[in-house]
């Protein structure tokens, strides 16, 4: 129906134009001529509409690097090596040779050369056989688009198709189509395919001899193939060199050199670089020619570093790895190594480690800390607790099974402490953090979001290396997240060029398609994460790396999955973001596999190679990030009793402004051996002393681990008054926790409580019956009964805490 409408519209327009012309024409002969023209025009329009040109043939998908170097190519849908050819890609000598040989009048005829047709027809009739052809380049193109048996009728159709091509396309487009379809034997079509397969080079790098060879092979593509019949090809080439010499098509010296150049029997494999990257691009991007963001020199260097490194750690049971390097200026991927060797079948080298979902270990912690900074929960010097903690039945441990007690947020992040991170996630809210990760494009998090909990911050989830690296690029872009750029021509507006306010205005005005970004973190928190993670005073800094003298300043974070199956290291600076994964594709673990020991050395080698001369040394500090004095023991604003202060960063109108109240006044006797409350305070012989007031569980841990701190003396034993303040805190079991215990076993439940340092004895009651007494922090165990159980803990002053639990037997 649409075709008919199109025909009628064309005819209507043509008739309208011609009718006006006929009306204006006075002479009857002119009117008749115009009528004839109108009929012919209508017929041509109808024929062109009813018999459109054949559809263009499907081309091979060809992948290039950012500088136009061939990475690889794939067979077309009909299993041909048919690479699309442009005049700019071809040596001028080759174009000249083809035009001189096939159609010297190409740029002047309308698709058909009448003189050639008459000459060929006359010669063929006289000789009673086909002596010469009359096909122009346009006619040959029509025949290659729609091959038919060679008959006079088909030749007429070919002529009409040639005229049709000339109407629809420019001479340049027709010549490019011709060069793309020329047959070169077997499944090879087009100048570009033949150039790479027969000479191992691009068609703009051909010698004159090679250009002439590609001009003559299509005459008999199967018998003149250089890989099958080089001697016959040599004869045909020399024949045309002589013809070109007679016609003075090229200089005598050039043709003499071409004549002396040998013809080799070669067939080269199509180049295959960056196989995982090319497969990803071919699958996800349209077009027969794709110029990518990849830099072949960086790719080859990265592949060698990865392959050599795997050889060094192979004895430790580590057989594979993946690397991705992003140029932060354009967020472009410049290196993409999906495995240590694509052809290494023994190590499953064809698996793409960059897109595989793996446990990320601790690599998501920087995002959590940045979010906590933006939410006003922490600053770098604020204190977090690294002590044994039960988070609703989840009791995480640090990688080295040690605890550090009270640490700064910076120390906790840099040294990847688990308990502070889980506590921070609980405080922030897992759902909120999961939402941020989903916005950041972590597809594994999206799939698993319903089953994720606090453990996700320690690797209890799945991520891809490319998506993880993209998340880290946000820190390099002042908190803005851009798509990873695989294509050379894509350019985004970046955070270095726009303020946060300007970016927000562009997003609100509907121009987000230009900036292609979303804000994940503030510029201030991004700067703080970068600065904290750039310190060398950390456990995972390797000191025995060769060539680290030239290592640029970088921020980096490591991760190790449960069971030591995955080792991660992701680093960034103003120039690059680099991600490294090491492990085994069959998920075999290794006792030597860890992010700090295994992945970081390779990360440093990659940065040394890629960023040997940094363009920018470090990030600029945002204007809303300032410094202030804080208490050295809490990281809060100094209180009246804080003795030591340190400098700390804070974000104006965001960071907490709480004053430190760690030190509380306590009345004690002159020798500080007895503590008094207001009920037993004597009239004289006492003084007021300030002691640090830690949370009970913290104070107990410090005491148990011989961490020195000033604690108040025991309370006056002669006092019978009721003391104020917090009583004991039951650490185990948890309130409303449901236990499942196997029948006929000796399984027991642990009792443990914490209290302030002045309490020396606590008393346990189970279902209103006294059980045992202990010191705060001691562990007791009891055999529970089925059903509800109430547990009460009292201290020496009668202050109490209680929890209720449920016990099920199975």
Taking a C-beta distance cutoff of 8 angstroms, is the pair 784, 807 a contact? yes
- Cα 431-432-434 angle, rounded to 5 deg: 60
CA quadruple 244, 247, 250, 254: dihedral, nearest 10: 60
Which of 744, 810, 751 is closest to 782 using CA atoms?
Answer: 751
Residues 540 and 580: their CA atoms lie apart, in Å, by 15
Collapsed DSSP state (helix, strand, coil) of residue 650:
strand
Residues 460 and 359: their CA atoms lie apart, in Å, by 7
User: Is there a catalytic annotation at residue 195?
Assistant: no
Which of 561, 555, 624, 620 is closest to 587 using CA atoms?
Answer: 561
**In Å, how far are 351, 464, 484 from 445, measured between CA atoms?**
21, 10, 18
Distance separating the N- and C-terminal Cα atoms of the chain: 74
Question: 84: which 2 tokens?
Answer: 């699309």
- Cα 464-466-471 angle, rounded to 5 deg: 95
Q: How far is CA 171 from the centre of its chain?
A: 43
Q: Tell me 315's DSSP state.
A: G
Residues 724 and 664: their CA atoms lie apart, in Å, by 14
Question: 746: which 2 tokens?
Answer: 């000796």
787-795 β-sheet, strand order: 738-741, 800-809, 787-795, 762-766, 769-774
DSSP string, 234-289: HHHHHHHHHHHHHHT-S-HHHHHHHHHS------PPPP--SHHHHHHHHHH--SSE
Residues 88 and 94: their CA atoms lie apart, in Å, by 12
Residues 240 and 246: their CA atoms lie apart, in Å, by 10
Question: 778: which 2 tokens?
Answer: 């001691």
Among 362, 590, 596, 693, the one annotated catalytic: 362
Which of 37, 703, 608, 629 is closest to 302 using CA atoms?
Answer: 608
780-782 β-sheet, strand order: 729-732, 749-754, 780-782
Collapsed DSSP state (helix, strand, coil) of residue 727:
coil
Question: 353: which 2 tokens?
Answer: 């480690």
Residues 752 and 389: their CA atoms lie apart, in Å, by 12
Q: How far is CA 166 from the centre of its chain?
A: 46
Which of 629, 708, 705, 695 is closest to 664 using CA atoms?
Answer: 695
DSSP string, 503-524: HHHHHHTT-HHHH--EE-S-HH
CA quadruple 427, 430, 435, 440: dihedral, nearest 10: 90
Instruction: Find tokens 């165990």 and name the residue.
Output: 781
Which of 201, 192, 225, 184 is closest to 88 using CA atoms?
Answer: 192
Strands (E) in 300-367, as ranges, are: 320-327, 332-337
Q: How far is CA 691 from the centre of its chain?
A: 51
**In Å, how far are 354, 434, 712 from 437, measured between CA atoms?**
18, 5, 46
Residues 201 and 509: their CA atoms lie apart, in Å, by 49
Q: Tell me 186's DSSP state.
A: T
Among 38, 60, 91, 102, the one annotated catalytic: 102
User: Is there a catalytic annotation at residue 102?
Assistant: yes
**In Å, how far are 86, 166, 174, 179 from 170, measured between CA atoms?**
13, 7, 6, 14
Residues 501 and 599: their CA atoms lie apart, in Å, by 38
Which of 470, 521, 517 is closest to 497 using CA atoms?
Answer: 517
Residues 433 and 279: their CA atoms lie apart, in Å, by 33
CA quadruple 588, 591, 593, 597: dihedral, nearest 10: -170
- Which residues are part of the catalytic machinery? 102, 362
């Amino acid at each position: 129906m649409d075709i008919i409408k199109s025909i009628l519209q064309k005819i209507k327009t043509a008739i309208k134009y011609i009718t006006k012309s006929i009306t204006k024409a006075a002479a009857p002969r002119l009117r008749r001529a115009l009528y004839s023209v109108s009929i012919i025009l209508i017929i041509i329009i109808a024929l062109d509409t009813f018999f459109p040109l054949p559809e263009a043939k499907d081309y091979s998908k060809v992948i290039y690097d950012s500088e136009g170097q061939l990475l690889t190519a794939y067979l077309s849908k009909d299993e041909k090596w048919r690479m699309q050819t442009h005049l700019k890609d071809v040596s001028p000598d080759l174009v000249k040779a083809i035009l001189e040989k096939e159609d010297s009048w190409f740029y002047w005829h309308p698709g058909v050369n009448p003189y050639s047709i008459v000459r060929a027809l006359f010669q063929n009739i006289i000789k009673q056989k086909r002596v010469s052809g009359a096909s122009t380049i346009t006619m040959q193109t029509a025949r290659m688009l729609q091959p038919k048996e060679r008959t006079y009728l088909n030749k007429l159709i070919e002529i009409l198709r040639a005229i049709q091509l000339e109407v629809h396309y420019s001479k340049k487009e027709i010549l490019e189509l011709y060069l793309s379809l020329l047959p070169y034997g077997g499944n090879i079509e087009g100048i570009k395919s033949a150039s790479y397969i027969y000479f191992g080079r691009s068609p703009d790098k051909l010698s004159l001899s090679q250009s002439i060879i590609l001009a003559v092979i299509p005459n008999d593509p199967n018998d003149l193939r250089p890989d099958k019949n080089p001697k016959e090809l040599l004869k045909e080439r020399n024949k045309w060199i002589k013809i070109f010499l007679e016609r003075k098509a090229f200089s005598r010296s050039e043709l003499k050199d071409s004549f002396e150049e040998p013809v080799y029997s070669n067939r080269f494999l199509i180049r295959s670089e960056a196989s995982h990257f090319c497969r990803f691009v071919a699958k996800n991007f349209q077009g027969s020619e794709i110029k990518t963001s990849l830099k072949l020199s960086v790719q080859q260097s990265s592949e060698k570093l990865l392959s050599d490194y795997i050889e060094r750690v192979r004895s430790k049971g580590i057989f594979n790895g993946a690397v991705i390097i992003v140029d932060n200026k354009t967020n472009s991927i410049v290196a993409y190594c999906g495995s240590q060797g694509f052809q290494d079948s023994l190590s499953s080298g064809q698996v793409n480690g960059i897109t595989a979902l793996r446990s990320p270990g601790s690599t998501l912690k920087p995002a959590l800390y940045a979010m906590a900074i933006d939410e006003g929960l922490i600053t770098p010097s604020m204190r977090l607790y690294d002590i044994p903690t039960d988070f609703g039945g989840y009791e995480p441990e640090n990688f080295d099974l040690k605890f550090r007690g009270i640490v700064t947020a910076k120390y906790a992040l840099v040294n990847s402490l688990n308990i502070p991170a889980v506590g921070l996630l609980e405080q922030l809210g897992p759902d909120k953090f999961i939402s941020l990760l989903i916005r950041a494009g972590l597809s594994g998090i999206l799939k698993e979001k319903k089953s994720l909990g606090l453990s996700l911050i320690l690797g209890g989830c799945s991520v891809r290396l490319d998506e993880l690296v993209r998340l880290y690029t946000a820190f390099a872009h002042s908190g803005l997240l851009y798509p990873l750029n695989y294509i050379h021509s894509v350019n985004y507006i970046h955070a270095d060029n726009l303020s946060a306010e300007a970016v927000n205005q562009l997003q609100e005005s509907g121009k987000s398609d230009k900036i292609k970004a979303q804000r994940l973190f503030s510029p201030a928190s991004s700067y703080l994460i970068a600065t904290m993670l750039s310190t060398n005073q950390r456990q995972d800094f390797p000191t025995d790396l060769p060539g680290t003298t030239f290592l640029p300043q970088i921020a980096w974070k490591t991760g190790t999955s449960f069971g030591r199956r995955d080792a991660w290291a992701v680093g960034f600076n103003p120039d690059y973001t680099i991600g490294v994964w090491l492990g085994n594709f069959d998920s075999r673990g290794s006792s030597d596999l860890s992010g700090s020991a295994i992945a970081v050395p390779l990360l440093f080698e990659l940065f040394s190679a890629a960023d040997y001369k940094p363009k920018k040394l470090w990030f600029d500090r945002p204007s809303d990030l300032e410094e202030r004095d804080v208490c050295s023991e809490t990281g809060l604003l100094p209180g009246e009793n804080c003795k030591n202060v340190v400098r700390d960063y804070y974000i104006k109108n965001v960071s907490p402004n709480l004053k430190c109240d760690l030190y509380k006044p306590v009345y004690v006797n002159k020798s500080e051996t007895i503590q008094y409350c207001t009920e037993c305070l004597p009239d004289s012989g006492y003084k007021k002393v300030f002691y640090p007031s830690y949370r009970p569980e913290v104070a107990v841990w410090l005491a148990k681990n011989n961490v020195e701190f000033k604690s108040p003396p025991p309370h006056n034993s002669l006092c019978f008054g009721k003391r104020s303040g917090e009583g004991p805190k039951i650490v185990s079991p948890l309130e409303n926790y449901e236990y499942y215990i196997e029948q006929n076993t000796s399984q027991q439940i642990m009792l443990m409580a914490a209290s302030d340092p002045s309490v020396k004895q606590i008393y346990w009651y189970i279902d209103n019956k006294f059980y045992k007494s202990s010191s705060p922090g001691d562990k007791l165990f009891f055999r529970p009964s089925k059903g509800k159980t109430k547990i009460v803990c009292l201290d020496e002053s009668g202050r109490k805490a209680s929890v209720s639990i449920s016990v099920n037997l199975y």
